[in-house]
Amino acid sequence: MATFLSSAIVCAVRHHGEHGAIARLLTPDHGLLPGYVRGGRSRALRPVLLPGNGVMAEFRARTEAQLAGLTVELIHSRAPLHAEPLPAAAIDWSCALTAAALPEGAPCPALHQALAGLLDAVEAAPAARGWAVALVRYELLLLAELGFGLDLTRCAALGDRGDLAYVSPRSAAAVSRAGAVGYEKLLLPLPPFLLEGGMGDWGQIIDGLHLTGFFLERSVLTDRRADILAARERLVARLKRAVA
């Protein structure tokens, strides 16, 4: 990886040494990339290196194996949203998930576009109803990009395409109401907005988060439960309190 410039979304930052930081950024063409930011813990750079911020990043590395040096310039700040509990929780979780789940250096332009759209939705409508559906769809897309996509095209039991209402936790495939008879309690509810588009009511949104959360925990975040999934649990708990 030679020197190159790219727009990017800040996904995760951790301290490194006395003054520096290692940032993990999602770029449109190069996927998730880490880099060392000299002075990343300084007063000037802390507001720049916030999850969800849009930056112009310059990566510099002599070899593919070397951690790149990184300089960043703020393009778009979402710092005000970090002061609001629900938007902050949504940003923290979606960015932490991205940083933890994606392999480094694997291009994923669809995920970059989807994460940017989700963050824009959080910013445009901080009330959760405006972005919660986009969050569920982002998680569903991430599962698919990693090879753990759900098959929502037809019933796993009967093969029919209509009246799909559940997902099998075993096969990750949809199940129709007729195919689910007698097994409803063993299946995961499938919210209609994942099939039909549009918005969902709060019950459907919570069902969607439970659905994607089940497969993220089982297939993607198996060795990072304590630190990564805690952010998601905080988000879901805040959503439930907000709509109670």
Mean pLDDT by 10 residues, the chain (244 residues): 87 87 96 92 90 96 82 96 92 95 94 97 83 95 96 93 95 96 96 90 93 94 76 87 75
Residues near 147 by Cβ (< 8 Å), separated by ≥ 6? none
Give how far Cα 196 sits from Cα of 164, 200, 222, Å.
11, 10, 31
Question: Chain centroid to CA 221: how far?
Answer: 12
Question: What is the DSSP annotation of 85-104?
Answer: HHHHHHHHHHHHHHHHHSPB
CA distance 186 to 208: 16
Tell whether 94 and 24 lie within a shared domain: no
pLDDT digits (tens, 9 = 90+) for 73-118: 999 999 999 999 899 999 999 999 999 999 999 999 999 999 999 9
Of 24, 47, 77, the residue that ends a domain is 77
| Contact between 220 and 177 (Cβ < 8 Å) | no
Q: What is the pLDDT of residue 39?
A: 84
Question: Chain centroid to CA 62: how far?
Answer: 31
Tell whether 202 and 140 lie within a shared domain: yes
Q: Residue 225 gets which letter from DSSP?
A: I
Asked whether residue 161 is assigned to any structural domain, the reply reads: no
Tell whether 144 and 222 lie within a shared domain: yes
Tell whether 237 and 117 lie within a shared domain: yes
Q: What is the pLDDT of residue 231?
A: 85
Q: What is the pLDDT of residue 51?
A: 97
- What is the distance between the terminal CA atoms of the chain, rounded to a whole angstrom? 50
Of 40, 62, 77, the residue that ends a domain is 77
pLDDT digits (tens, 9 = 90+) for 204-216: 999 999 999 999 9
Q: What is the pLDDT of residue 40?
A: 82
Question: What is the DSSP annotation of 42-56?
Answer: STTTTTTS-TT-EEE
Phi, psi of 192 (to 5 degrees): -60, -30
Tell me how long the chain is.
Answer: 244
Q: What is the pLDDT of residue 224?
A: 63
CA distance 69 to 21: 10
CA distance 87 to 67: 32
Based on the structure, what is the number of domains in the chain? 2
| Contact between 244 and 218 (Cβ < 8 Å) | no
Asked whether residue 69 is assigned to any structural domain, the reply reads: yes
Q: What is the pLDDT of residue 243?
A: 74
Of 29, 53, 77, the residue that ends a domain is 77
Residues near 211 by Cβ (< 8 Å), separated by ≥ 6? 136, 150, 167, 188, 189, 190, 191, 194
